[in-house]
Amino acid sequence: MHSYPLRTLCALLALAMAGLAAPVPAAQVEGLYRAEVGSADLVLLDAYDGEELAPAFDSRQARREALMRAALARVLIRLSGTSQVAADPLVQAELLASAEGFVNRYQFVGSGSSQPRLRVQFNGQAVREALWKTGWPVWGRYRPGVVVWVAQRGAGGLNLASPDVAPELFKALRETAERYGLPLLVPLMDSMDRRRLSGRDLLFEDWNRIRSASERYDPDAVLLLRLGSPDSGSSNAEWVLRRNGEVRTFTTGGEGPEAAFRDGLKRILARLACDYAVFPGQPVTMQAAVDGIRDLQEYARVERGLARLAAIDSVTPVRVDGEQARFRFHFQGPVEGADHILGLLDLLEPRQRPDTEETEDRAPLHFTYRP
């Protein structure tokens, strides 16, 4: 890649970006600021374990406003990583009480029924900034991809489950994961998967075989879900989450698999948010040096990807030297966690910082571009 004066680079970059779609990494959550709710969702969304609000509406507007509050509460849980955010009096006063002010657009769906649902799209930037102001962390749309292997007990022991054999089970799992903003990767369960893995491997947690089967999905974490027999009446679910060599195991239950999925995925959301959600702080000006960028299209993809991270604002190009490009940006959150947050982008592979002295006040973060 040639070296360009910054002004020329910016002009060329704008042209290149005009014809590019935004980067779509495997763990990019779509619809993070969108929610669809109905009368059954008029609860504080798990903040009080499903305690009913029992509202009495005196007008259609009052009902709409209540649904908007429920929709915003669901978005806030995805962003913060915990359902307790909806129970915070400050959040209730500053965000939920004025939920309509954060709405970009809304529509009633299923209007022919007696209980139409409300679909709401919120202003992402406004919601993020308001949530930060109340002291809660924000987790953006880039999240670790989690491949989930499901096994269910049957007459022959523990058997691998698949969407074609148990469609309702996987539908409930997907819908619950979407509710919490978790990018679950459901295996294809084709002949290759079944050759590499069995229910026995999940039962005895044979991580060599599990890792081998999971490689084709390039996950950031592996989740094992072991369920009881559908004929037993048991809704207990055993969860095993492995990430970065760390293994966490727990069991959930409830009235039906939906309740077990809700409690289990809520725990996983909270655990991952501990590592990736960004707490409010004074924005700090930082730089990132990215090696391996060969042309302006790749440069544009990195710039667009950085700009979409919730913790980053005001991304600007600095210079290009051979195949290394530098970007300047404002980072919101603890500086020591910046490389961790930027590493969420599938486009960037974190590198160890070189020993060379930097003339600037703060040494740049170093990454390698991954096509």
The pTM assigned to this predicted structure is: 0.79
Q: For 218-229, what is each residue's pLDDT tens digit?
A: 999 999 999 988
Q: How far apart are CA 188 and CA 144, in angstroms?
A: 19
Q: How far apart are CA 189 and CA 19, in angstroms?
A: 36
| Average pLDDT of the residues in 8-18 | 38
Q: How confident is the model at residue 6 (pLDDT cuts 50, 70, 90)?
A: very low
H runs (alpha helix) in the chain: 6-18, 60-80, 89-94, 124-133, 167-179, 191-196, 199-204, 207-214, 257-276, 296-307, 338-342
CATH 3.30.1710 matches 146-276: no
Q: How confident is the model at residue 21 (pLDDT cuts 50, 70, 90)?
A: very low
Q: How confident is the model at residue 58 (pLDDT cuts 50, 70, 90)?
A: low
Q: How far apart are CA 187 and CA 184, in angstroms?
A: 10
H runs (alpha helix) in 148-295: 167-179, 191-196, 199-204, 207-214, 257-276
Q: How confident is the model at residue 343 (pLDDT cuts 50, 70, 90)?
A: confident
Predicted pLDDT of residue 27: 65
Q: Domain limits of the chain? A: 6-23+279-369, 34-133, 146-276
Q: For 158-194, what is each residue's pLDDT tens digit?
A: 999 999 999 999 999 999 999 999 999 999 999 999 9
